[in-house]
Chains A and B, each alone.
Chain A
């Protein structure tokens, strides 16, 4: 016993000596000064996204594209020499995890801004943390709630589309074309619910008939027990309101069950990452909405510039839709920082509100009342033939130009004028 005590004492003494001498060496070296300076100088942007889990493919694209925005800012001299730095965290698609990681980013990493999230539910958790601490948060995934007065704060910005806008655009395209009888297969959480609400809202104008809404939990891997029921409803349109791997698996199994023979499948959102991960078979012919497609480069110089920058950084790969959002979310913040000449939240908010930008997909601006980015919505269809390159997976079949009329009004959202 005594021997053991002695031993641990000697170890702790040795450890103490090591620590002290290392500390002394660090204090004496010129390196320390640099370290401190770098810490003061970098403009830190926290980036919580679900790197692992069912939305992992999309999240990794967000990170890649966000890095492009950061490196462009730094190459352009930063803010009077101050460089930007992206600090990425895995939120595991879990609101609790996201809140913890965001808190850590704010308190420990001392980030000036937070951009990120890839879930209607998770972004509200992030927003709760940032708004209480006066940190600007630019959300880059779909949500309706984030526009509403109850969740909104002046620190909240929303670069992504929202379900009301997206489902509206897809509905306006599909309902007059394919028929009035509509059935839904929906992921049972905020995103799915908001999308269905959006479709039903726009459907009123077309007198659609809602045959039924079948809900499945997030992360379902087998839809074989839900599909016979959906087929028996004999819909003209099957609207699959889920995302990421859920969408990939449900489309694959719906194809196996022969749904496409009798029914047009639409989805509020089709993402390139999901389409690539699931293959052409599963997505063939499916119609959905999107915020961005690299093919926009034929129309906008900004898209071409963004595509080139991305290609250069990632061995000729093209950016995806959610990737573009990561880019847009960071790029707008850094542009506002430059315009404001400061990282002070209030000054950057004013600069963001004043921003009229065309960074990657044509003209955009943040609406004053809810900080929603007013932007175009693309309606796209997945194709399986005549693919020019590995990213050539969709065709833009219709575009809704930027228009506040597609959004819910400020009064509807509970904002006072």
Chain B
């Protein structure tokens, strides 16, 4: 196919960055929970899906998109707290596969419950009016809403960074991740820290699902496809490293985008090819700590 211009390549690169922002947003919740709790949360995709459905529900009640942006992470985060307290907590200290299996099963239960409550068909989710349409970004037109998603991702990252690095509670979380025993000896209630981390992780997943809804609509299966991609991002970035997830998410987005330009059939495979190459060169991923899984 002819017609490769500089503008097209630049626009394609930008599309990759935008896609990367979505991957990042989805992967940081996963990475946060794994890094702090060593829980491989297979229900992350289900929380993402529940976030989108919570948005639908709030809209049905007469709310708008901006209310959803606040209410959805709060509501699903609370649900996440309950899941951690009731289901995950009894499994700490039992090996990594216990919570993995539990969350895997939980994801099936959540998807089925949503199918029962909202039907199997799925819902349309209109882009909020002020964010509709495409704007000229210098090299071509790009949907305004996708620019908004990049901004929202940056805001979440900034808030998370400030919380973890600049607050005393963040300090406790980081210490708890390094050595929970010492933190406990110092008189800190580690169980409460883990509870809150899990809640934040699921709240971010729900936020991502809500932001994805205007891009692709809402369906019970929407968490399934993105979960695989998010795991690739987390593994490439290094399990448990938030900075790694950011770098890897953007990288995966750009790789997918550039492969799409030259060989669209290979786009999906390219993600896994990238993962294979990274794992051969650096088995723990970009910023992963070796031995975290063992």
A→B interface (CB under 8 Å): 51-54, 56-57, 60, 188, 211-212, 214-217, 219-222, 224-229, 231-233, 245, 248-249, 252-253, 256-258, 273, 277-279, 281-282
12 extra interface residue pairs, beta carbon distance < 8 Å, beyond A57-B121, A232-B11, A279-B126? A52-B115, A221-B226, A222-B22, A222-B216, A225-B257, A228-B11, A231-B140, A232-B5, A252-B217, A258-B133, A277-B123, A281-B124
Q: Which residues of the other chain, B, contact A219 by a CB distance below 8 angstroms?
A: 225
Q: Which residues of the other chain, B, contact A54 by a CB distance below 8 angstroms?
A: 221
Question: B145-158: contact bitstring with A at CB < 8 Å (1 yes, 0 no)?
Answer: 11000000000000
B221 touches A53 (CB 8 A): yes
Cα(A51)–Cα(B1), bound, Å: 38
Q: Which of B188-234 contact A (CB under 8 A)?
A: 215-217, 219, 221-222, 225-226
A226 touches B121 (CB 8 A): no
B267 contacts partner chain A, Cβ-Cβ < 8 Å: yes
A188 touches B265 (CB 8 A): yes
**Assuming the A-B contacts A216-B264, A229-B12, are A221 and B216 also in contact, with contact meaning beta carbons closer than 8 angstroms in the complex?**
yes
A277 touches B215 (CB 8 A): no
Q: Which residues of the other chain, A, contact B226 by a CB distance below 8 angstroms?
A: 221
23 interchain pairs, CB-CB under 8 A: A56-B120, A219-B225, A220-B268, A221-B216, A224-B15, A225-B15, A225-B256, A225-B261, A225-B267, A228-B8, A229-B1, A229-B12, A229-B260, A229-B264, A232-B8, A248-B217, A252-B217, A256-B127, A258-B133, A258-B141, A278-B124, A281-B126, A281-B127
Cα(A229)–Cα(B19), bound, Å: 15
Q: Which residues of the other chain, A, contact B146 by a CB distance below 8 angstroms?
A: 224, 256
B143 contacts partner chain A, Cβ-Cβ < 8 Å: yes
Of A52, A226, A245, A256, which contacts B134 at CB under 8 A? Answer: A256
Q: Which residues of the other chain, B, contact A277 by a CB distance below 8 angstroms?
A: 121-124, 217
A60 touches B121 (CB 8 A): yes
Q: Which residues of the other chain, A, contact B18 by a CB distance below 8 angstroms?
A: 224
Return the chain A residue nearest B132 by Cβ. A256
Q: Which residues of the other chain, A, contact B124 by a CB distance below 8 angstroms?
A: 248, 277-279, 281-282
Measured CB to CB, the closest approach of chain B to A304, in angstroms, equals: 26
The interface size of chain B toward A, counting residues with CB under 8 Å, comes to 45
Cα(A248)–Cα(B3), bound, Å: 28
Q: Which residues of the other chain, A, contact B257 by a CB distance below 8 angstroms?
A: 224-225
A229 touches B8 (CB 8 A): yes
Of A56, A214, A256, which contacts B121 at CB under 8 A? Answer: A56
Cα(A305)–Cα(B142), bound, Å: 48
Q: Which 9 A-B pairs have the closest CB atoms?
A: A279-B124, A225-B260, A256-B143, A258-B134, A225-B257, A57-B121, A212-B1, A228-B11, A232-B8
**Assuming the A-B contacts A215-B264, A228-B12, A273-B121, are A221 and B225 also in contact, with contact meaning beta carbons closer than 8 angstroms in the complex?**
yes
Measured CB to CB, the closest approach of chain B to A56, in angstroms, equals: 5
B35 contacts partner chain A, Cβ-Cβ < 8 Å: no
Q: Which residues of the other chain, A, contact B16 by a CB distance below 8 angstroms?
A: 225
Q: Which residues of the other chain, B, contact A273 by a CB distance below 8 angstroms?
A: 121
Cα(A325)–Cα(B285), bound, Å: 51
Number of A-B contacts (CB under 8 A): 117
B126 touches A224 (CB 8 A): no
Cα(A217)–Cα(B140), bound, Å: 26
B127 touches A245 (CB 8 A): no
A226 touches B260 (CB 8 A): yes
Of B12, B127, B143, which contacts A257 at CB under 8 A? Answer: B143
Measured CB to CB, the closest approach of chain B to A142, in angstroms, equals: 21
Q: Which of B11-26 contact A (CB under 8 A)?
A: 11-12, 15-16, 18-19, 22
Of A215, A231, A258, A281, which contacts B265 at CB under 8 A? Answer: A215
Q: Which residues of the other chain, A, contact B225 by a CB distance below 8 angstroms?
A: 219, 221
B1 touches A211 (CB 8 A): yes
A257 touches B217 (CB 8 A): no
Q: Which residues of the other chain, A, contact B3 by a CB distance below 8 angstroms?
A: 232-233
Cα(A35)–Cα(B3), bound, Å: 70
Cα(A232)–Cα(B260), bound, Å: 14
Of B7, B122, B132, B265, which contacts A57 at CB under 8 A? Answer: B122
B217 touches A52 (CB 8 A): no
B19 touches A245 (CB 8 A): no
Measured CB to CB, the closest approach of chain B to A314, in angstroms, equals: 14
Cα(A226)–Cα(B12), bound, Å: 9
Q: Which residues of the other chain, B, contact A232 by a CB distance below 8 angstroms?
A: 3, 5, 7-8, 11, 140
Measured CB to CB, the closest approach of chain B to A209, in angstroms, equals: 12
Cα(A252)–Cα(B124), bound, Å: 10
Of B12, B145, B222, B261, which contacts A256 at CB under 8 A? Answer: B145
**Assuming the A-B contacts A52-B221, A219-B225, are A229 and B261 also in contact, with contact meaning beta carbons closer than 8 angstroms in the complex?**
yes
Measured CB to CB, the closest approach of chain B to A267, in angstroms, equals: 17
Return the chain A residue nearest B256 by Cβ. A225
